[in-house]
A and B are shown apart, each in its own frame.
Chain A
């Protein structure tokens, strides 16, 4: 397709080369720098000018970091928070979006409007009242304190509803004639068709829960219950730098792996309206 430039001349190759170098330097090298840094002993990390490749390789830092910060425990906590947040959100918003789209209850539009209105609200404007509500409900130090507020995701209700709206009425009618109930129709007909949007919404729900910091910081005052992000910032000031770097790498690996595995879904989801993120 025609774009700004014809893109065949010498200039094209110059721009391509510069962009390749800049992108690699800006986005890849810092991450490689950290990966390598974790292999260097603290004394070497304090050296000026720095060594590029480690002079002494200390692969033990990754193991030491795991043990020193008890990362295993925090990995499990984070997994429980992220998977639970996804499961609860799906259980709450899928039936709701289906009801709003296909069952058309009285005041359905008003309810959708009230949900969408919460999008106008910056998430931090309700920080204090939501926190106090969690305290009242006794949900501190309980993963449900993350799951339940995260399930009130108006954007995802809207995205699902918009997708369900496009499913032809005749398809549901045919299922009904075959004797399928509302629930069976949802599970057998609607969900399989909606796999693309469900994948996008699911991935973004898990990623958002894994990346979140402020809510786990507030919900888990008990150090043993904390997520990786909260634990890492707590350990950061008194952890030897090579162990901290190893810990940061380990905490990022699941997200990088998820990205490489679902890259197509994630990048497609970005432009599908899941702009926030």
Chain B
């Protein structure tokens, strides 16, 4: 009995913090979705009104389309690039420390710093990227200033800023592949592409899947970069779900509708998070 008392003494601070800032907000978020909330009057129950307001907002569809487009682009670029980088780095026996240092350096920069730096690089006039393109005699781009290229420009920043973690995690996974597998493949006369396809990818598929799911969850919550670099523009081409949520909550002070949007986002992301936990649990066993 005394053991339990001591144990709960040690647990008490964590229980309070989790209860107030994690468990209770989850319940409160669901409740808020069905209420009208402002700081003036006490909350009113409004049924599905918040959801109806969202569905009637043309930006709701735009935000989801943008977020999905962003997620797909981020998967093609932000998922493929770190894996290929790790495969190449795993073959190199020189300057290993230098490569690891460099690829992870951007991860340490505060996202606000990265976003403001890249905004300066993207400047269509004297910006770094167009200057380099001009110097090479290549066509320049409007980058963030055009609705056609704004989203892919954001994906490039985020890939640059975050690929270090994924690359190093893949690299660690690649190093666990038994060398004999490649030796056997060599005896069969397999080329590089066949070895990657038949050995490297199957042997690391657990890590690949885990990072894929984590990345989907992270990219769908994208906020800082569009908030700072584009503010959702041009022509609402970079309004993401989270940017819309922020507008409802902190521009219109409509916390009920913002919560309804969180609930929808949660339902969508919950599926991916659930799969992630299932997979990591299996690896622990």
Contact = CB atoms under 8 A, between A and B. Distances in A.
Given A48-B126, A111-B11, A125 B29 contact: yes
The residue in A26, A245, A275 that gathers the most chain B C-beta atoms within 10 A of its C-beta is A275
Q: What is the predominant secondary structure among interface residues of chain B facing chain A?
A: helix
Contact of B18 (A15, A98, A105, A115): A115
Which of A3, A108, A116 has the most chain B CB atoms inside 10 A of its CB? A3
B245 to A, nearest CB: 7
Interface in B83-109: 87-95, 98-109
Contact of B25 (A16, A46, A126): A126
Given A5-B192, A28-B102, A119-B277, A256 B182 contact: no
Most chain A CB inside 10 Å of its own CB: which residue of B17, B99, B115: B17
Contact of A152 (B17, B102, B175, B200): B17
Interface stretch (B52-60, B143-151, B266-274): B266-274
Contacts of B65: none
A148 interface: yes
A147 to B, nearest CB: 10
A45 interface: yes
Contact of B274 (A114, A120, A210): A120
A132 B111 CA distance: 25
Given A28-B102, A106-B4, A114-B23, A92 B94 contact: no
B26 A133 contact: no
B126 A47 contact: yes
A96 B126 contact: no
B230 interface: no
Interface in A227-277: 228-230, 232-233, 236, 241, 244-245, 248, 251-252, 255-256, 258-259, 263, 266-267, 270-271, 275-277
A81 to B, nearest CB: 12
A276 B102 contact: no
B107 A277 contact: yes
A79 interface: no
Interface string B247-285: 001100001001100110110011001101100000000
B249 A236 contact: no
A211 B110 contact: yes
Given A20-B95, A132-B37, A229-B113, 11 more contacts: A15-B88, A121-B26, A124-B221, A124-B262, A125-B26, A128-B32, A129-B29, A213-B112, A248-B117, A255-B108, A263-B101
22 contacts: A3-B174, A4-B182, A4-B196, A19-B99, A23-B99, A33-B128, A93-B14, A96-B15, A98-B10, A99-B10, A104-B7, A116-B277, A119-B273, A122-B221, A123-B221, A127-B262, A132-B32, A152-B14, A210-B110, A245-B120, A255-B110, A275-B211
Interface of A: 1-5, 7, 12, 15-16, 19-20, 23-24, 26-28, 30-31, 33-34, 37, 45-50, 91-93, 95-96, 98-100, 103-106, 108, 111, 114-116, 118-133, 135, 137, 148-149, 151-152, 154, 157, 182, 207, 210-211, 213-214, 218, 228-230, 232-233, 236, 241, 244-245, 248, 251-252, 255-256, 258-259, 263, 266-267, 270-271, 275-277
